[in-house]
Structures are given as C-alpha cells and as structure tokens.
Structure 1
Amino acid sequence: MDIYITTHFCGGHHLRAYPGDCENPHGHNWKVKVTVRADRLDPLGMGIDFRQLKGAVGAVIDELDHKNLNEHPSFQERNPSSEHIAMFLFDSLREPLQSDRFRLYSVEVLETDTSGVVYYGD
C-alpha cells in the first residue's frame, strides 16, 4: 500500500553555468509529494500514521522554506535543481521513514504545475 502526503515550500535559487535565464536568481513555489510503501498495516489499520509522515517531511522542508537554496550546505557543490532537491529530500527522509512495516518509496518535486521529477532512491 502506498501512503503519501503533499506539501510545498517557497525558495529562491539560481542554476550555476545554466545557458539561459535560470542562471539569474529567481524563486519557485515547489510542490512536494512524499510516498511511503507499507507491506502491512499496524494494529490500528495504518501503514504509517499521517502525523508521523507529516512531521518527518515538515522537519526537512523547514530547512528549505523561504531560503536561498544555493546557500544550503547540500547545494554548495551541486545546483539546486528539482532533481537535486528531490535527491536531498529522499536522502534526508530515508532513515526516519523506515520501519519493519514501511519504507520511503518516492519523492516528487514539482517546480511548476506542469514540470517536475519523481525520485525513487539509488
């Protein structure tokens, strides 16, 4: 069973060495969907409590919200592209969203309503 939440964050960035406008500082309202895959349900009938899922995701999203992403330690050596943001979120959430019943399955990051990426881990 796949259980997910959606959230969002606002942030600024620029893509170093990009051949176009995105090399200039600009911002986005990124949408994020985090999906956990559960093999079985707990005694209450849940794969993962939404409260637990929202708490783990919220803690990581807070690191990015209303920030210049280029200044974040994870984006010092690599561009804060949607792909790298999805990888950062997945890597940050892999451990807190893992148990004997469930594991992190995917992270989706939408830069706009029509453009995004889904990352499934290594």
Structure 2
Amino acid sequence: MYELCIKSHFSAAHHLRGYAGSCEEMHGHNWEIEVFVGGDHLDDTGMLIDFRELKRLVAHLMDQLDHKDLNTLEMFRTINPSSEHIARYLYRGLAASLTDPRITVRRVRVFETPSCSACYGEEGGGC
C-alpha cells in the first residue's frame, strides 16, 4: 500500500451549541489539516496521484470553509462544527471528488490547535 499526505489550512470561526464552556461562544481557529490517500497501484509515471491534483481537490474543500462562520454553513446547521465533524466532512468530500478507483482516502486529521487534533477515517484507514 502506498500512502501520500498533504497538509493544508483554513481560518474560520465557530461555536459549539450546547457546550458548557468557553467554546460555546463564537471564536476562531487557524485550522491545520492533514489528508492521507492510499492505493496499491501506481500509474504509468510511477505516482499514485500528482500532488498538484490532490492539492487542487483539497483546496476546493478549503475554499468552502475558509474565513467563514462554520455554524452558518449548510453542512453544520444541525450538527456542531467540531473538529471531529470537520474531519468527517473533509474526508467524505474528498472521497466523493476522487475519480480514480485506484485511490482511496485513508484519513483526515484536523488540528484545532498545534497540540489538539481529531481524525476521521473509514474502511480500515485508521487514525
């Protein structure tokens, strides 16, 4: 199994509904993300996927979140935009945009701060 990782970031505000603490108030983060994709077979150029293409797909997802109030976005109207839910949203969004059947999303890790992160993976991608 080959595995690639790219890192990206976005800045956004959010608050956690129903949370008893300071995170219940509107606040912001400079979120960092790590996206891992994997596959067993390389293409004719010896690559799983071109890093530029993977970055382009991830950038499209980041554009939907960057400099936004996450609570106002459709995908977070009924669930809290927690790090866990953001990781799942990014995972599923990237999985839906990958068209090459050789490649699967393994996991997405979202860092709310440099020392606090949440990870989401399916199908044995682990975290």
Provide TM-score, normalisation by structure 2.
0.92
Corresponding position of 2:42: 41
Residue 69 of structure 2 aligns to which amino acid in structure 1? N
| 8 Å CA contact 1:60, 1:92 repeated in 2 | yes
Corresponding position of 1:65: 66
Bigger shift: 89-98 or 112-121?
A: 89-98
Per-residue CA shift, 1:53-106, capped at 9, x if unaligned? Answer: 001100011000000000010000000000000011111111222523211111
Tell me the distance in 2 between the aligned counterparts of 1:38 and 1:97.
Answer: 12
Corresponding position of 1:4: 5
How many residues end up aligned between the 2 structures?
122
Corresponding position of 2:100: 99
Moved over 3 A (4+): none
Tell me the distance in 2 between the aligned counterparts of 1:70 and 1:35.
Answer: 26
Tell me the distance in 1 between the aligned counterparts of 2:20 and 2:122.
Answer: 28
Q: Percent identity?
A: 45
**How many angstroms does 1:121 deviate by?**
2.7
Structure 2 unaligned blocks of 5 or more: none
| 8 Å CA contact 1:6, 1:32 repeated in 2 | yes
SS in 2 for 1:40: coil
Tell me the distance in 1 between the aligned counterparts of 2:13 and 2:118.
Answer: 18
Tell me the distance in 2 between the aligned counterparts of 1:95 and 1:104.
Answer: 10
Structure 1 unaligned blocks of 5 or more: none
Corresponding position of 1:28: 29
